[in-house]
Chain A
């Protein structure tokens, strides 16, 4: 940290010698850029409010109902079970039967409190309702679609298999780690190419999960198609981030610390817009919820978790190939390595950064869909994942794409396997402690270079 060249870079990272910063420095230019930025920010705000205004409108077309899914690990989805809904004073308002996917939904006349009863006689043999009994009292909100969970038990829990807990946790951890990696590649590349520590990256994950949720649950689009649309929208949101906010800020010469605080403000605002629109509860997708775990000898895995692993691996492989072989991938690595050198050798740096943002947004959205599939959709899921993404990216080496991959997988496996010794609700704590430990031992990470850490 005493080298002269490094000092120059720290004062005004990567921008100092580039001709564009000189142009931005003239006062007239700066003020007009400022007005443009303000206009764009207003547009973004308005766009956000428009979404907030529209979404409840979509939901209100459906009307109030109670719904749920009946399934157990041994039987799979249970069809033909009768569900009765009564008002709080015992008046029957509706009856429904589960379909072949175990789902039921009973429309109710309006918001209020309802008693939902399951007919235990229509359940298959060996299947019993949980200790809470066969009735549930729920409160339906205006335009609400209230989920009801009966907690069915098939009497098979933990019996007769030669699974090994450590192997099971390792496989779960691998799935989780690959998911973190998918979301974190963009975070790492954005840091590498622009120097920005993007605290709003978690919200890209949440947006992906929630877009897929609305498409799947409210618009009844199959989850696969919904996921594809969500990934496209994630990419667009990434592009919007770059075009409406970060590129103008770079042009103004905003410092990295200021940009970091801006990203925190953005994260906060977007997160709570999402909570206002989506609400505080966690909801599952409609599809693939009723799968039973398949036995693979020493571990068991549902098909959707297997698919999650395969999708993550294929996508990460494609990203690696792209970085290694394609022109734009090479340009990305060049910009991440030395921005000024890349610019002077004819690479359009701004275009490369835009592609990085689109790719980062799309990958984060995919990560969000996969996370929503395994852990349900929640308003702050991305923010909680963000801390593990930081852990993974730091472990692998901030700013390197492959480092993010390796580090994230290690963090995922570590977090899951740590439940062997610590409580389940403390497993994220273990991951975050790992992060602090890495910084003590090897701050540049596994694949990072010494020069980056300052």
Chain B
């Protein structure tokens, strides 16, 4: 029982950690793409990667100031969105899906190739790029703080303070945009592209704007992740993460302003809780109703993969039985290919 309580506490802590911010921002971007516009972007992690590496490469490799790195990352995300959108947004939805998933994988392979090690550091990664970010912190970065029974380092608190502020601003922006005529056109594009076109709207331009804006949110997420981890490695951006973000979005509710945020927090609670509960289960002498020992079935390294299995199955079941998630409206998520 004590182990379960500990696992629960770790789960609650993970709801607020920078990983949750990362996925909340990824999912807010996907919400704009998938929830509001009906675009199938399966390469959201690539936007995060150019965002995170924008900072890391600018600061660690080119000795530029931190804020220039942020601008570089955002600029790279805009360019990536334009490159992805140009050939595909006129075609059916699954073409964008194929191209985005392929480019995310291609970019990761490119960044980890030995040939690009002079710029990206290849698989050994990049470090030492976030000191000027932490120098802005008003409290001691190395201090330890106890908040409601959870322990945080000063640096972590600074990252998540900035992170959740960005999430809040992003949510306000999405809320305001979706009340505006622009947001109503996006929804019209999602519901019936031809009707929107018949009313004189340039559907292609609206889709492209949505892709760019959502990609920028993804890049901001990547930046929070980059300053949170303090090191950059291409393999941190496996494209399974895109699907984790989709899991968060659909769990919380697509086409709702707070859906992706609540989804990301819940997702990290589930991940952290199941990780530590499974770890406790595997390390002790626990058996499955006397049939077999959990420790024989799973090793401690397997636990990290279980989260992807849970998310994969969860994504399937949610999409089949409750596509609107917790907050959503079923009528708004009955999309079809376009």
Contact = CB atoms under 8 A, between A and B. Distances in A.
Interface of A: 1-2, 7, 10-13, 34, 37-38, 41, 45, 52-53, 56, 195, 197, 199, 249, 252, 254-258, 260-262, 264-273, 275-276, 384, 387, 390-391, 394, 398, 422-423, 425-426, 428-429, 432-433, 435-436, 439-440, 443, 452-454
Contacts of A258: 319-320, 323, 335
A196 to B, nearest CB: 9
CB-CB nearest 10 A-B residue pairs: A269-B312, A265-B315, A268-B312, A265-B316, A454-B92, A272-B308, A432-B106, A256-B337, A440-B87, A439-B87
B84 to A, nearest CB: 8
A34 B321 contact: yes
Contacts of A56: 296-297
Interface stretch (B6-14, B109-117, B258-266): B109-117
Interface residues of B, number: 59
Contacts of A439: 87-88, 91, 95, 99
A436 B88 CA distance: 9
A195 to B, nearest CB: 7
B146 interface: no
Nearest to B106: A432
B334 A429 contact: no
A276 B309 contact: yes
Contact of A45 (B112, B250, B308, B313): B313
Interface in B237-273: 240, 243, 246-247, 250
17 contacts: A255-B335, A258-B319, A264-B243, A264-B312, A265-B313, A269-B308, A269-B311, A269-B316, A271-B308, A272-B308, A398-B94, A422-B115, A425-B109, A425-B113, A428-B105, A428-B109, A454-B91
B105 A249 contact: no
Nearest to B242: A264
Contacts of A275: 305
A452 B91 CA distance: 9
B243 A10 contact: no
B137 interface: no
A53 B297 contact: yes
A130 to B, nearest CB: 20
A268 B318 CA distance: 14
A197 B103 contact: no
Given A268-B243, A387-B101, A436-B87, A262 B320 contact: yes
A403 to B, nearest CB: 15
A273 B310 CA distance: 10
A55 to B, nearest CB: 10
B105 A387 contact: yes
B320 A249 contact: yes
B278 to A, nearest CB: 11
Interface in B31-84: 38, 40, 42
Nearest to B197: A2
Contacts of B166: none
Contact of A425 (B114, B193, B292, B297): B114
Given A249-B320, A272-B312, A428-B106, A256 B305 contact: no
B315 A261 contact: yes
B311 A261 contact: no
A268 B320 contact: no
Nearest to B83: A436
A195 B316 CA distance: 18
A140 to B, nearest CB: 14
A11 B334 CA distance: 11
Given A262-B320, A432-B103, 8 more contacts: A1-B193, A261-B319, A265-B319, A272-B312, A276-B309, A425-B113, A425-B115, A435-B102
Contacts of A428: 105-106, 109
A273 B98 contact: no
B93 interface: yes
Contact of B320 (A53, A254, A273): A254
Contacts of A423: 113-115
Dominant secondary structure at the A interface: helix
A8 B274 CA distance: 45
Given A261-B250, A454-B92, A255 B320 contact: no
A266 B194 CA distance: 32
Nearest to A252: B320
B230 interface: no
A7 B335 contact: no
A197 B106 contact: no
Nearest to A429: B106
B243 A265 contact: yes
A432 B105 contact: yes
B162 interface: no
B200 to A, nearest CB: 14
A252 B334 CA distance: 13
Contacts of A254: 320
Contacts of A384: 105
A195 B337 CA distance: 10
A390 B315 contact: no
A118 B315 CA distance: 50
Contact of A276 (B103, B243, B306): B306
A34 B321 CA distance: 8
A260 B98 CA distance: 11
A268 B101 CA distance: 14
A255 B334 contact: yes
Contacts of B246: 261, 264
B302 interface: yes
B91 A453 contact: yes
Given A41-B317, A264-B315, A255 B337 contact: yes
Contacts of B92: 452-454
Contacts of A262: 315-316, 319-320
Nearest to A391: B102
A2 B86 contact: no
B102 A257 contact: no
B336 A256 contact: yes
B321 A394 contact: no
Contact of B97 (A249, A260, A269): A260
Interface in B98-136: 98-99, 101-103, 105-106, 109-110, 112-115
Contacts of A440: 86-87
B98 A266 contact: no
B26 to A, nearest CB: 15
Nearest to B88: A439
